[in-house]
Amino acid sequence: MEDNLKNLADIYYAKILSPSSGIGISWLRNTLAGLGIKDESIEKLYSINAPISREVWYYIFMKIWEEKKLADFLNILIDKVGSVDLGQIKDKLSSMGLIYRNGKFERKIFKIIVLVSGRGTNLQAIIDAIEKGKINGEIVGVISNKKKAYALQRAKNHGIETFYIPHKKDESREEYDKKLAKIIDEKRADLIVLAGFLRILSSWFVRKYKWKIINIHPALLPAFAGLYGENVHKAVLDYGCKVSGCTVHFVDEEVDHGPIIIQKCVEVLDDDTAESLAQRILEKEHESLVEAIKLISEGRIKIEGRRVKIS
User: What residues line the site for ligand GRF (CB under 6 A)?
Assistant: 118-122, 151, 195-196, 216-218, 282, 285
Give CA–CA dist 138/304, Å, rounded: 28
Question: Which residue is closest to ligand GRF by CB?
Answer: 196
User: CB-wise, 97 or 196, nearer to ligand GRF?
Assistant: 196
User: CB-wise, 5 or 292, nearer to ligand GRF?
Assistant: 292
Give CA–CA dist 95/98, Å, rounded: 7
Residues, the chain: 311
Give CA–CA dist 85/113, Å, rounded: 36
Query: Smallest Cα–Cα separation from 250: which of 222, 215, 224?
Result: 215
Is residue 5 within 8 Å of residue 61, measured between CB atoms? yes
User: CB-wise, 95 or 121, nearer to ligand GRF?
Assistant: 121
Query: Smallest Cα–Cα separation from 77: which of 55, 57, 94, 92?
Result: 57
Minimum Å distance from CB 86 to ligand GRF? 40
Minimum Å distance from CB 148 to ligand GRF? 13
Query: Smallest Cα–Cα separation from 251: which of 301, 295, 206, 290?
Result: 206
Minimum Å distance from CB 47 to ligand GRF? 47
Of 217, 249, 257, 286, the catalytic one is 217
- The verdict on whether 217 is a catalytic residue reads yes
Minimum Å distance from CB 283 to ligand GRF? 11
User: CB-wise, 118 or 141, nearer to ligand GRF?
Assistant: 118
Which of the residues are catalytic?
A: 217
